[in-house]
Homo-oligomer: A and B are copies of this chain.
Amino acid sequence: MRKTYFTPGPAELFPTVEQHYRDAFDLQLGSISHRSAQFRKIYQHTVEQLRTLMNIPESSGIFFTGSATEIWERIIQNTVEFESFHLVNGSFSKKFYDFSSELGKFAHKYEKPFGEGFDYAEIQVPQYSELICTTANETSSGVQMRPAEIHKLKRGNKDKFVAVDMVSSAPYPDLDFELIDTAFFSVQKSFGMPAGLGCWIANPSMLDKAKSLKKNDGIIGTYHTLPSLWKNFEKFETPETPNVMGIYVLGKVAEDMNKIGIETIRKETERKAKMLYDFATKCDYLDIFVQNPEHRSQTVVVVNTVGKPAAEIIDAVKTSDNMVIGSGYGDFKATQLRIANFAAVNIEQVESLIEVMKKL
Binding site for B on A (CB under 8 A): 2-3, 5, 7, 9-13, 17-18, 21, 24-25, 28-34, 65-70, 72-73, 98-99, 102-104, 186, 188, 193-197, 219, 221-224, 239-246, 324, 326
Contacts and interface: CB of A to CB of B under 8 A. Distances in A.
Nearest to A22: B22
The 4 A-B pairs at the shortest CB distance, nearest first, are namely: A66-B66, A196-B243, A30-B194, A69-B240
A70 B98 CA distance: 21
B34 A195 contact: yes
Given A239-B69, A246-B196, A28 B11 contact: no
B21 A33 contact: no
A352 B25 CA distance: 23
Contact of A10 (B13, B30, B221, B223): B30
Contacts of A219: 102-104, 219
A193 B241 contact: no
Interface centre among A5, A66, A98, A224, by most chain B C-beta atoms within 10 angstroms, is: A66
A31 B187 CA distance: 11
A232 to B, nearest CB: 12
B241 A195 contact: yes
Nearest to A105: B219
Given A10-B32, A65-B66, 19 more contacts: A10-B30, A10-B241, A11-B31, A17-B30, A31-B324, A66-B70, A66-B196, A66-B243, A70-B240, A72-B222, A102-B222, A104-B219, A186-B241, A194-B245, A196-B243, A196-B245, A196-B246, A219-B219, A243-B243
A186 to B, nearest CB: 7
Q: Majority SS of interface residues in chain A?
A: loop
A17 B196 CA distance: 17
Contacts of A223: 69-70, 72-73, 99
A194 B17 CA distance: 16
Contacts of A72: 222-223
A31 B31 CA distance: 25
Contacts of A103: 219, 221-222
A31 B18 contact: no
B221 A188 contact: no
17 contacts: A7-B33, A10-B244, A13-B30, A21-B21, A30-B193, A30-B194, A66-B70, A67-B240, A70-B223, A102-B222, A194-B244, A195-B241, A195-B243, A195-B245, A196-B244, A196-B246, A197-B243
A194 B243 CA distance: 7
Contact of A25 (B7, B21, B32, B65): B21
A186 B244 CA distance: 13
Interface centre among A9, A70, A73, A104, by most chain B C-beta atoms within 10 angstroms, is: A70
Contacts of A221: 73, 102-103
